[in-house]
């Protein structure tokens, strides 16, 4: 009985559980993707370049962040507030999807247009 109760207790506030670390990594990947996608979008509109490289970075980091956040959310033992990184995984999912959207929009805009 005591082993079962100990397994259900929340993680300490200052400890870094594997779920928290995964959420932090996924969130940082998503944030990098959002920044790269936003900069690429601005550059493609300003005419200073196509922004294609930044868009590819945004898509790659956004997709990786979504995958890592999905794994953290799927393997989380408890709910939000238990220290397993579930809330951070949801935030990282949102950031990763935003990075994918920004990168995808910029890539679609930077495609070469055919004259036919």
Tell the residue number behind the tokens 């995964």, with chain if given.
Answer: 22
Q: What is the pTM of this model?
A: 0.76
Closest to 22 measured CA to CA, from 94, 81, 75: 75
Q: Contact at 8 Å (CB) between 29 and 62?
A: yes
Q: At 63, is the pLDDT very low, low, confident or very high (cuts 50, 70, 90)?
A: very high
Tell me: pLDDT of 66 over 50: yes
3-state secondary structure of 39: helix
Distance (Å, whole) CA 50 – CA 66: 25
The backbone region for 12, taken as left when phi is positive above 0, alpha when psi lies in -120 to 50, beta otherwise, is beta
Instruction: Return the pLDDT at 6.
Output: 45
């Amino acid at each position: 009985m005591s082993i079962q109760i100990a397994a259900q207790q929340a993680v300490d506030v200052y400890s870094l559980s594997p779920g928290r670390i995964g959420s932090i990594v996924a969130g940082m990947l998503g944030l990098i993707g959002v920044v790269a996608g936003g900069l690429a979008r601005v550059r493609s509109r300003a005419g200073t370049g196509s922004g294609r490289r930044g868009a590819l970075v945004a898509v790659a980091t956004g997709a990786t962040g979504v995958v890592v956040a999905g794994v953290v959310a799927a393997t989380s033992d408890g709910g939000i507030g238990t220290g397993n990184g579930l809330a951070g995984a949801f935030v990282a999912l949102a950031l990763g999807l935003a990075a994918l959207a920004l990168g995808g929009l910029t890539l679609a805009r930077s495609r070469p247009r055919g004259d036919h």
